[in-house]
Structure 1
Amino acid sequence: MEHLLTNLTASLTELREPSKVLARAGNRPVAILNRNEAIGYFVPKSAVTSADIKVASTEEVNATLNTHLAEIGHVLDYLKDK
């Protein structure tokens, strides 16, 4: 089973009515599934606010990555071949 970054999901068929998906999501991202496989994420504008954005130095980014390496290792392994 694929690891999703959110616990909310919607199918491509449901995405035909994005207002319903947004209403159900509140301010949380929704994984979009096609035949039970995640093909992307639908992120409502309310989930991303200007308060969430902070400029980080290279050292801060590296420290954060190293702190969360166990959680994100599978993503980094996937990106090595890209």
Structure 2
Amino acid sequence: METLLTKKAASLTELREPGKVLEYAGHTPVAILNRNAVVAYLVPAGAVNITHTKASTDDVLAAFDRRSKVLEPVLDYLKDK
């Protein structure tokens, strides 16, 4: 038996009326089933917290410098790979 990654599910037949499926979903993802097998997941826009941030190169380098002591062992490990 396949594990669902959501608490809500709908069939492909129900997806013929996507408005109803979205209403049922609220702001949570819905597993789309075909003959009791998951074929897709529908994720309403309200379920995704989209934040657009633009970081400059200077911001990225400053963040890297702040974390360099923590990242140093990882970077040393990765040099050998």
Q: Shorter-chain-normalised TM-score: which range? A: 0.5 to 0.7
Instruction: Pick the structure with greater CA Rg.
Output: 2
Specify the SS of the correspondent of 1:50.
coil
- TM-score for the superposition, normalised by structure 1: 0.60
Is it true that 1:15 corresponds to 2:20 in the alignment?
no
Over the aligned positions, Cα root-mean-square deviation in angstroms equals 1.5
- TM-score for the superposition, normalised by structure 2: 0.60
Specify the SS of the correspondent of 2:7.
coil
Residue correspondences, number:
52
**Which stretches of structure 1, 4 residues or longer, exceed 6 Å deviation after superposition?**
none
**Which structure 2 residues correspond to residues 1-80 of structure 1 after superposition, within 5 A?**
1-51=1-51
Structure 1: tracts of 5 or more residues without a match: 52-82
